[in-house]
Structure 1
Amino acid sequence: MKFATAIVATTVAAVASAQALWTFPPEGPCVANCTDSVGKTFFPFYNDVDSTGPFFFTSLSYTFERGTPTTIEFMSAAGTCMQTCPMPEQNAYRASYPLKLKWYQDNKPAALARRRL
């Protein structure tokens, strides 16, 4: 039991440490509204803003678990919404996407990595 408790505590500390490193600025209110509103149609607790929240990595998985049916559907809907956003916000999203993808892949919890959406 002590071993299991130590593993859980280590995992929580590692996730909290990784989450603290999310330093990406928002792309703008229109893009944020698109990802949030589309995200909530998939997952009611969707939250890709609060890196300390319990659903942060699950929410990011809708964008960054590439090749899954859920991510394809999410990105199609979010992309359609973003077409109405100001071009500077769209450009900021496109510029930040590969950096955020890399961060996500490097920091996602192991349990989430094994899960296919």
Structure 2
Amino acid sequence: MRFASAIVAAAAAAIASAQVVFPFAPEGPCVAACTDAAGKSFVPFYNDVDPNGPFFFASLAYTFERGTPTAIAFMTKAGTCMNDCPMDEQNAYRASYYPKYNWYVANKPAVAPARRR
């Protein structure tokens, strides 16, 4: 029985220490500054660059949980800022949006459904 418990504990530790790989390069410093400023205007812990940071997926939700009031406000703020960015960075952002969205949907942690009372 102890052996089985040790195996389960080792497996849990291996899963917890697994590194997330976000296979996308930044679109450029201007776009990165816009998304960072927009995100930090909502929450100070916003982080869309460190895939192993504790707030990475929560931060990506601002961009990719489409149609929510928070995502709409975030995208409006970030997009307004990006209008002043070089066109090559804007084009790179547009080109990477759906691949990043698909990656986010496939990799985001499952959220437990709310309990009914």
* TM-score scaled by length of structure 1: 0.82
CA separation of 1:70 and 1:100: change in aligned 2, threshold 3 A: same
Over residues 37-81 of structure 1, what are the superposed CA-to-partner deviations in whole Å (9 max), with x where a residue is unaligned? 110011110000011100000000000001100000000100000
User: Partner residue of 2:91?
Assistant: 91
Between structure 1 and structure 2, the one with the greater Rg is: 2
User: Partner residue of 1:41?
Assistant: 41
* TM-score scaled by length of structure 2: 0.82
**Where in structure 2 are there 5+ consecutive unaligned residues?**
none
Over residues 71-108 of structure 1, what are the superposed CA-to-partner deviations in whole Å (9 max), with x where a residue is unaligned? 00000100000000000000000000000000000000
Q: Quote the offset at 1:23 in angstroms.
A: 1.3
Tell me the distance in 1 between the aligned counterparts of 2:30 and 2:57. 22
Structure 1 contact 36–46 (Cα < 8 Å) conserved: yes
- After superposition, where does 1:38-77 map in structure 2 within 5 Å? 38-77=38-77
**Where in structure 1 are there 5+ consecutive unaligned residues?**
none
Structure 1 contact 49–56 (Cα < 8 Å) conserved: yes
CA RMSD for the aligned pairs? 2.4
Tell me the distance in 1 between the aligned counterparts of 2:97 and 2:17. 21
CA separation of 1:27 and 1:71: change in aligned 2, threshold 3 A: same
Identity percentage of aligned residues: 65
Tell me the distance in 1 between the aligned counterparts of 2:43 and 2:57. 12
3-state secondary structure, aligned to 1:104: helix
State the number of aligned residues.
107
Greater helix proportion: 1
Q: Which runs of 4+ in 1 moved over 6 A?
A: none
